[in-house]
Amino acid sequence: MKKQTNTPLRAFEVAVDRLLMEFCEKHDLTYEFSVGNDSIDVFSISHFFFSLSDIYFDLKSNQPNGKIIEWYDYILENELKINYYHYCMGLRKEQLSKMQND
């Protein structure tokens, strides 16, 4: 009996590949590898690590070119845990400090 391909899974993998290609093209970056050989979670792209959800949000919300790199550098330089979505909505270190002090 011939084994059937799992069409929804294959379609998802193809969609992820297309998202990665579009994301890399938009930001002029180079795809390197998926972390842990898991092709749906975190990816090494140029020298950055991005989650699929951040890549999807960047493309879906049409963020400006380079915004995700700006965020990545900001959270590293400031040793913060601000997700990409909230960074794009304007959350910064100063607002976090104020919220923690209230």
Show pLDDT as tens, one digit a residue, over the chain (102 residues): 455 577 998 999 999 999 999 999 999 999 999 998 777 899 999 999 999 999 999 999 999 999 999 999 999 999 989 999 999 999 998 887 777 776
Domain ranges of the chain: 7-101
pLDDT value at residue 101? 75
Using the structure block, give the residue that is written with the tokens 């976090």: 96
pTM of the model: 0.86
pLDDT value at residue 39? 77
